Amino acid sequence: MRGRVLVVAGSDSGGGAGIQADIKAVTCLGGFAMTAVTALTAQNTLGVHGVLAVAPDFIARQIAVVLDDLGADCIKTGMLHDAAVIETVVAALAAHAPGVPLVCDPVMIAKGGHPLLVAAAVDTLRARLLPRATLLTPNLPEAEALLGRAIPDAAAMAEAAVALRGLGPAAVLLKGGHAEGPVVVDVLADAEGTLAFESPRIATRHTHGTGCTLASAVATGIAQGMALRLAVGRARAYVLEALRSAPGFGHGHGPLDHAHTLRADVVPAGP
C-alpha cells in the first residue's frame, strides 16, 4: 500500500505548493515521495518573487539516479518551465521509467498570476508530454490555453475534458475551482466516459497549492494500486478536508492543512 511517487516539479519556498506540497500530500496519504527539482522559486502566500531554473542536464540526472535505484510506481510532473525542460523530462522518463503511470499537472500560472510556463513551450507540452500522460489535471485557465478556446461554464466542462483527452492523455481530470458558484465541479474523462465530482465550495483565501496537492494525491493512489476513479475520489476528499482545516498562515493565498490525516490517524477512504 506504500506506493513510490517521483515528483518532477519546482520548489515553493513558502511550503504551500510545488515540491513541498507534493511531498506532504504523498507522505500524508501513506506513500513514499521522491523528487527531481526543476526550478527554485522565491515564493510566499503573496506571490512568486523570483525563479531560478535548474539546468536540464541536472534535472535528467536527478530523475535517472532516483529511478535507477529506488524505482517508482507513479510519476507526477508539475512546473516544467520551458520547452527544453519538457523535452528533457520526456526523454528521461522514456529511458528510465517506460510504462510507469504519469500524472501531469500542467502548471502554467501561479495562484498570484506569475507565469510558470513560457508561452512558447505550450506547444511542446501539448505535443510531447500530454501523449505520455496517464492523467492530465488542468484547471480551467490551463485547459483553455491547451484547447485554445474558452470553457464558459460547467455545462461545457465535460465536452472540454473529452477534447483534452483527444490530445493524447489516457484520462483528464478538468478542475472547476476557478468557476463561480457554491458547488465545485471537477470532470473526469477516461475510457469509461465522463464522471462529474461535486463538492461544496469552501469560502477561504487559503487555497495555495490545491492543484499540486490534488495531482500528487491522485498519483499516490495510483502508486498504491487504486483504480483511477477511486484514486480521484480519495484525493478530492483529502484536499477538501485540507481546505476546511487550513492553518491560516500568511497574508495572501495561504497553504492547506496537508497533515490532517496524521492528526486523525486515518487516511480518507473517499468522498
Catalytic residue among 124, 175, 220, 233: 175
Per the structure block, which three cell numbers stand in for 26?
A: 504523498
Q: 47 an active-site residue?
A: no
Catalytic residue among 35, 45, 88, 210: 210
Catalytic residue among 211, 221, 233, 254: 211
Catalytic residue among 14, 31, 209, 233: 209
Q: 212 an active-site residue?
A: yes
Q: 45 an active-site residue?
A: no
Q: Which residues of 47-72 are buried (b: 16+ CB within 10 A; e: fewer)?
A: bbeebeebebeebbebbeebbeeeeb
Q: 28 an active-site residue?
A: no
What is the DSSP code (8-state) at residue 149? Answer: S
Catalytic residue among 38, 134, 137, 207: 207
Q: 210 an active-site residue?
A: yes
What is the DSSP code (8-state) at residue 25? Answer: H
User: Could you tell me if 124 and 132 are in contact, meaning their C-beta atoms sit under 8 angstroms apart?
Assistant: no
Is 103 exposed, middle or buried (CB count within 10 Å of its CB: 0-12, 13-18, 19+)? buried
Catalytic residue among 28, 74, 104, 212: 212
What is the DSSP code (8-state) at residue 22? Answer: H
Q: How far apart are CA 38 and CA 77, in angstroms?
A: 10
Q: 209 an active-site residue?
A: yes
Within the chain, strands assigned E span 4-12, 32-44, 47-53, 74-77, 102-104, 135-136, 172-174, 183-190, 193-200
Catalytic amino acids?
175, 207, 209-212
